[in-house]
Structure 1
Amino acid sequence: MVSHLNGFRLARFRLTTLARERLALPDYKRSALRGGFGHVFRKIGCMASSLGAGQCTLRERCPYHYIFETPPPAGSQILDKVPTAPQPFILEPPLDTKRFYEPGEELSFGLILIGRAIDYLPYFIYAFDELGRNGIGKGKGKYQLHSVTSEDQAGHNTQIYWPEKHLLKDGFSILRADDLFSPLPLERLCHKSVYGSTGSPRTDVDTRK
């Protein structure tokens, strides 16, 4: 099975933000994060935003086109009849239902990048940084990006980006197919918001949502 995934790459990151103003977000925060992020990413990553997608001659090199209008892999027998492939990123919002964040409170979320999307990590970081300056959620509350960490196979996090220095560290952890099929403890297969730092399930999170 793994042999069919030669060349597969996946990287996990965690972005931590601090509220500068009061943030008002929905119970399920992914919609607010993804909607705001997509809007900003188009501004910074689209090479010809004034043109229609069919008119742009730069699509093959366009970060926005690859991330949000992902073309099927060349020669794919599974996706050869669809116009776009699944988008190569996953946002992992907090699973709690906290809606309001006061100035100074922390909001963190996970980001998974798959394959070539890993090469666009600087665009993702810049977009979420810019989203904080623009504002998010009801009232467009502003936040500041505090840190970005990379997660390895064992679940250890290493800081790779320092916003105050605009410094992004190379050599972050990238998982291959063999890593994904190796045995992992149950708490590593579940969201960290459900399992606490001790590995014991939390009782304050409704995992049915």
Structure 2
Amino acid sequence: MSGAGRALALPLARYRFTAQLEADLPLPVFAGPLLRSVFGAALHHVACTTGQTRCSACPLWRSCPYPAVFETPPRPTQFEQQFSQVPNPYVIEPPLAGEGDGMLCAGGPLVWHMVLAGEPTLTRLDLIVHAWRRALRQGLGELRVPGRLLSVERLDPDGGAPLPVLAGDGSRVIAHESRLWLPLPAVDADESATPTLEATLHLTTPLRLQHQGQALGPEQLDARTLLSQMLRRTNLMLDLHLGVRPAPFDAPALLAAVLPVLSERRALRWQDAPRYSARQRREMNLGGVVGRWTINAPAHALAPLLPWLHLGQWLHLGKNATMGLGAYRLETSTTNALLSKTV
């Protein structure tokens, strides 16, 4: 490779929330739906000014901060295909995902993370923190276990010290300008001189990729499905929330270059992620695959995909990403050259 090309400065940040519980809290196998539910209810309460039962029927639908954050209204994109549902500008990363049923004891810390994407969402951080405070006061789980927010910190993707978001007395939110720097590597034109690169996704929460509405198991998945759905979600997030237009890559061209020369190794298994849907009044299973997925290809074909795979560690992959599904850690042979920085 001939070194780095241009870089994208993306308005994207990950925050760590720490709360203290006033009683024991039974935590489900996957707590993403629980946290998303209480956050959404609290955000709606603090943001809604009209009391409409359906946001889409409200005259403030496209200006209210609640749908802007929690249920993004569809709007035109740069793509020929338009979408009736679009991704939201946040991801909740719950604690203990995939580690089995657990009990968080009274007085102990409850720690989760939240990724916020886009300038409008980042500027609403104070409202988001306020909503989490209300959610904790109202209580979590069937027992409505109350708690209080102790701290919020913005995490450094390079492993540096986190920055406090709450003032020392917790009275106000401290704003930090956040940029995730994503270098876009340039590759030598001489394909014969480029080495083989390897990228491994360590899937830590169930990855739920679907075909015709059906979740795909380990035997049904392939690299084409993984990469095409990753690029599709990335493109929509860049367009709708991260302010990147036109698209910084040609998805069909990237796939055409890498798929014929790609090999893969997979050590995947299915993991259930049950949840109760209050809207549908029934138990649902949001399971998907976890484990290790490794892709090998010549550098000239794989390197252009690595920045978007790296970005996926913030955006997550697949269905129900906002609940924390589709989380992974990326390991590559060129990790040091591709790591992003914040300012």
Q: Shorter-chain TM-score: which interval?
A: 0.7 to 0.9
Q: Against the structure 1 CA distance between its residues 22 and 73, is the aligned structure 2 distance closer, same or farther, given a 3 Å change threshold? A: same
- The 8 Å contact of residues 22 and 142 in structure 1, kept in 2 or not, is answered as no
- Over the matched positions of the two proteins, sequence identity in percent amounts to 24
Deviation at 1:37, TM superposition (A): 0.8
Deviation at 1:163, TM superposition (A): 7.5
Residue 104 (str. 1) matches residue 107 (str. 2): yes
Alignment-derived partner of residue 200 in structure 1: none
Q: In structure 2, give the amino acid aligned to 1:150.
A: R
Between structure 1 and structure 2, the one with the greater Rg is 2
Q: In structure 2, give the amino acid aligned to 1:67.
A: V
1:144 and 1:13 map into 2 onto residues whose CA distance is 17
1:54 and 1:63 map into 2 onto residues whose CA distance is 13
- The 8 Å contact of residues 152 and 174 in structure 1, kept in 2 or not, is answered as no
1:34 to 11, 33, 36: 36
- The 8 Å contact of residues 134 and 140 in structure 1, kept in 2 or not, is answered as yes
* TM-score, normalised via structure 2 length: 0.48
Alignment-derived partner of residue 60 in structure 2: 58
Aligned length: 185
Deviation at 1:174, TM superposition (A): 3.0
More strand by share: 2
Q: Secondary structure at the match of 1:168?
A: coil
2:127 to 123, 137, 155: 123
Mapping 1:163-202, distance limit 5 Å: 164-178=169-183
Question: Where does the alignment leave 5 or more consecutive residues of structure 1 unmatched?
Answer: 192-205
- The 8 Å contact of residues 36 and 136 in structure 1, kept in 2 or not, is answered as yes
Q: In structure 2, give the amino acid aligned to 1:92.
A: E
Alignment-derived partner of residue 113 in structure 1: 116
* TM-score, normalised via structure 1 length: 0.75
1:20 to 19, 22, 28: 22
- The 8 Å contact of residues 76 and 82 in structure 2, kept in 1 or not, is answered as no
Alignment-derived partner of residue 90 in structure 1: 91
- The 8 Å contact of residues 52 and 58 in structure 2, kept in 1 or not, is answered as no
2:25 and 2:55 map into 1 onto residues whose CA distance is 34
Q: Which moved more, 1:122-131 or 1:153-162?
A: 153-162
- The 8 Å contact of residues 11 and 178 in structure 2, kept in 1 or not, is answered as no
Alignment-derived partner of residue 136 in structure 1: 140
